[in-house]
């Protein structure tokens, strides 16, 4: 065979693989949509049985024989296809089993897993980035599309378009299944469906953007289902217009962070999820206060960046934040905001409202103070000391503190305190400054202690240290309320 014939044969094989990929994802869409539509006439136990049978069949040679009909014979791809199919079928089987068990035994404990949530999560999963991109581009099955230049050039366009599809699909799937399974489609119920659909879609996109050894479809499904189930159990809903505006505002801010290289794609979706939940459980200003931390953190990461890079002290990826950075610094802010929103519906817990505001200000002040102390402190020309024994330490060493870093921490905490007063979260400026500085400054130094003791020994990562130090800042400011009042 001459070179021309060999090249032609290879091209034919490639074209066949591209067609196979497109057919595979079209079949996936068709099967998923049919699965959801059939929920109108088929009971949950039937879906449990079907998923269980599919899971068992995936362990037999039948899957390989079916794949061979479409010329999918590559052993590595067949192995991955078999594992991914078995994993997703297994997770769906467990989901339906859990729904059936809780349907019969969960009511007395107030824990239910409605079937419509499973179909909503499935609707979110159907519209994966890989599958949608593969339908309109020349790629083969299991090709890493995220590494292709064509995907990188339009990735955000795809991501946001797919979020709209995911929200729409999840909402319609929820309405469809709920309507045929005995739920009253009241305005409150529809508002709740829209709320959990938006959060589920963003969480699904977030899980897809996080590098993982788990199959993307499985991680999207689990992330969407668990987040929507948690919100359903909280029984929290807001008018759909407020939900949509909160989502739009959060996405715009998250996009700007991505555009100006403060955040990567995973951080973009993380920030959007935080924004939607914090705004809807509290109000816009709570989220703006948290955004102030991200802006200050991103800005001061770039402060004297060349000097820090030359000294080997600069953040990786030129300071671009990932989902880890977002959640390690903001998890407790989110938890406090959600708790505040839940307790606001119960007048008997009104006495906790202000302490929770203090805790929120304290945790954001800690994150801000710590970031500014780290990013500015490493540029200090003065001495650095280990916080646990006050011996001289290397600049940038875990647990090391400097006068410049401590002053930066105070400044960052004070900025958050001033903003908390300006946003009406705390009535007087002196009180807001005391709350923020107490939580932020002490929390920052607790971060240094944890760095010296735990991070240096490998017991905690930097994200773990941030997680516990922001908790300490929240607890300090929370306790301060009871000391002052």
Q: H helices then E strands: how many in the chain? A: 18, 2
Q: Tell me the C-alpha distance between 187 and 110, whole Å.
A: 22
- Helices 403-422 and 353-377 cross at an angle (nearest 10°) of 140
Judge whether residue 107 has pLDDT over 90: no
CB 262 within 8 A of CB 291: no
* In the chain, % of residues over pLDDT 90: 51
Q: What's the pLDDT score for residue 263?
A: 79
Tokens of 444: 């920052």
Range with the poorest average pLDDT among 21-25, 274-278, 346-350, 443-447: 21-25
Judge whether residue 74 has pLDDT over 80: no
Judge whether residue 1 has pLDDT over 60: no
Q: Tell me the C-alpha distance between 172 and 201, whole Å.
A: 13
Q: What's the pLDDT score for residue 307?
A: 64
CB 368 within 8 A of CB 292: yes
Pairing of strands 400-402, 384-386: antiparallel
Rg (CA), the chain: 25
Across residues 115-129, what is the average pLDDT? 92
Q: What is the average pLDDT score of the chain?
A: 86
Strand-pairing partners, residue 386, are 400
Tell me the pLDDT tens digit for each residue of 435-474: 999 999 999 999 999 999 999 888 999 899 999 999 999 9
Judge whether residue 317 has pLDDT over 60: no
Cα-to-chain-centroid distance, residue 246: 16
Tokens of 449: 């202690």
CA count, 13 A, side-chain hemisphere, 142? 13
Tell me the pLDDT tens digit for each residue of 388-414: 888 888 877 888 888 998 999 999 999
- Residue 375: band (very low, low, confident or very high) from pLDDT cuts 50, 70, 90: confident
Longest dimension (CA), the chain: 89
Please state the pTM of the whole predicted model: 0.89
Residues whose CB falls within 8 Å of the CB of residue 184, separated by 6 or more in sequence, listed in order: none
More confident residue, 173 or 130: 173
Q: What's the pLDDT score for residue 7?
A: 59
Q: Tell me the C-alpha distance between 290 and 61, whole Å.
A: 53
Residues whose CB falls within 8 Å of the CB of residue 92, separated by 6 or more in sequence, listed in order: 47, 51, 118, 122, 221
């Amino acid at each position: 065979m001459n070179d021309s014939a060999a090249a032609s044969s290879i091209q034919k094989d490639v074209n066949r693989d591209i067609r196979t990929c497109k057919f595979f994802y079209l079949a996936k869409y068709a099967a998923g949509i049919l699965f959801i539509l059939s929920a109108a006439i088929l009971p949950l136990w039937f879906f449990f049985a079907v998923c269980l049978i599919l899971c068992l069949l995936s362990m037999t040679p039948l899957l390989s024989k079916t794949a061979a009909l479409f010329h999918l014979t590559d052993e590595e791809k067949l192995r991955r296809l078999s594992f991914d199919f078995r994993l997703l079928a297994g997770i769906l089987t467990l989901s339906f089993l859990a729904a059936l068990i809780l349907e019969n035994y969960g009511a007395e404990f107030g824990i239910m897993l409605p079937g419509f949530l499973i179909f909503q999560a499935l609707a979110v999963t159907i519209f994966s980035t890989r599958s949608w991109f593969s339908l309109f581009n020349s790629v083969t099955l299991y090709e890493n599309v995220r590494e292709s230049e064509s995907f990188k050039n339009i990735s955000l366009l795809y991501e946001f378009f797919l979020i709209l599809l995911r929200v729409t699909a999840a909402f319609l799937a929820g309405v469809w299944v709920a309507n045929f399974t005995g739920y009253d489609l009241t305005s409150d119920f529809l508002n709740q469906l829209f709320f959990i659909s938006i959060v589920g879609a963003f969480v699904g996109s977030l899980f897809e953007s996080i590098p993982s050894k788990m199959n993307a479809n499985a991680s999207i499904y689990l992330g969407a289902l668990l987040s929507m189930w948690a919100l359903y159990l909280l029984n929290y809903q807001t008018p759909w217009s407020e939900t949509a505006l909160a989502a739009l505002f959060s996405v715009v801010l998250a996009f700007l962070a991505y555009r100006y290289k403060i955040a990567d794609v995973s951080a973009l979706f993380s920030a959007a999820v935080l924004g939607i939940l914090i705004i809807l459980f509290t109000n816009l200003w709570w989220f703006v206060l948290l955004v102030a931390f991200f802006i200050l953190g991103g800005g001061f990461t770039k402060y004297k960046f060349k000097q820090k890079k030359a000294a080997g002290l600069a953040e990786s990826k030129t300071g671009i934040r990932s989902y880890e950075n977002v959640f390690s610094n903001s998890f407790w802010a989110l938890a406090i905001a959600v708790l505040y929103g839940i307790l606001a519906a119960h007048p008997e817990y009104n006495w906790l409202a202000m302490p929770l505001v203090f805790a929120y200000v304290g945790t954001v002040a800690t994150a801000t103070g710590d970031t500014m102390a780290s990013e500015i402190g490493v540029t200090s020309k003065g001495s650095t000391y280990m916080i646990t024994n006050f011996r001289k330490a290397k600049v940038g060493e875990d647990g090391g503190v400097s006068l410049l870093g401590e002053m930066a921490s105070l400044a960052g905490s004070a900025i958050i305190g001033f903003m908390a007063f300006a946003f009406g979260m705390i009535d007087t400026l002196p009180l807001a400054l005391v709350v923020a500085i107490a939580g932020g400054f002490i929390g920052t130094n607790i971060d240094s202690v944890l760095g010296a003791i735990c991070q240096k020994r490998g017991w905690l990562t930097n994200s773990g240290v941030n997680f516990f130090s922001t908790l300490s800042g929240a607890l300090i400011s929370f306790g301060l309320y009871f000391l002052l009042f």
